[in-house]
Copies of this chain bind each other. A is one copy, B any other.
Amino acid sequence: MGEHVTDKQLMFEEIARVGKALASGKRLELLDLLAQAERTVEALAKSARLGVSTASAHLQTLKQGGLVATRREGTRIYYRLASPDVARLYANLRDVATTHLADVAVAVTEFLGPEVEHVTRDDLLDRVRRGDVVVLDVRPAEEYAAGHIPGAVSIPLDQLADRLTELPADTEIVAYCRGVNCVLAPDAVRLLSERGRAARQLADGMLEWRLAELPVEAGSPP
């Protein structure tokens, strides 16, 4: 019994290739980065603190799972998510993990640090319309350039302390970053609060903004 492989088993094994691609923390970290902007292997390896060979191997696995696609430019190869469906799948996985596994919820709050006050997307849109808020993107400049909330100001977190004067003193600031698992915006809000600014963070980030199909602006600041 069971010594031959049925079509059904074959089908499930094929589908499992996608599951296998999602079965490593390193690869999820790479997906998390790619959900923001396309990147070269070297850049991904550096951001995820991996050796180049290791990063390349993981990227091959992701590619075999159909989750990423590549583009060559000179000697470099840029990886990107294969489609927005992949971002949705990743967000879905992350949400199920956070909702159903207590250890994940603990690890997330541990990573994000003390909680800061949130603003929902709808609130933010209202207040942008009224013009009484500054939207602050604290992700690295390349990610801002690849797509950001329309009208947002870009100050990467590591430059924020030095560039405080660029932010109006009397307007509330709403910071955002990659998504619900990103530490940049909470860090920024804590820094701004210490300096006496009124600041809150968007409840999620660019990943969820894109999935909600809200307008996205591309390009570097003038």
Contact of A11 among B1, B7, B85, B108 (CB under 8 A): B108
Check A28–B12 contact: CB distance below 8 A.
yes
What are the residues of chain B within 8 A of A94 when measuring CB–CB? 15
* Chain A 184-203: CB-based contact to B (< 8 A → 1; otherwise 0): 00000000000000000000
A115 at interface by CB-CB < 8 Å: no
Check B15–A104 contact: CB distance below 8 A.
yes
What is the interface of chain A mostly: helix, strand, loop, or mixed? helix
A102 (CB) vs chain B CBs: closest residue: B66
The docked-state distance in angstroms from the alpha carbon of A92 to that of B87 is 11
The docked-state distance in angstroms from the alpha carbon of A93 to that of B66 is 11
What are the residues of chain B within 8 A of A89 when measuring CB–CB? 89, 92-93, 96
A142 at interface by CB-CB < 8 Å: no
A118 at interface by CB-CB < 8 Å: no
Min C-beta distance of A92 to chain B, whole Å: 5
A212 at interface by CB-CB < 8 Å: no
Contact of A8 among B14, B17, B29 (CB under 8 A): B29
Min C-beta distance of A186 to chain B, whole Å: 13
A65 at interface by CB-CB < 8 Å: yes
A129 at interface by CB-CB < 8 Å: no
What are the residues of chain B within 8 A of A8 when measuring CB–CB? 29, 111, 183
What are the residues of chain B within 8 A of A19 when measuring CB–CB? 19, 21-24, 27-28, 93
Chain A contacts to B: CB under 8 angstroms: 1-2, 7-29, 32, 49, 65-67, 82-83, 85-86, 88-89, 92-101, 103-104, 107-108, 110-111, 181, 183
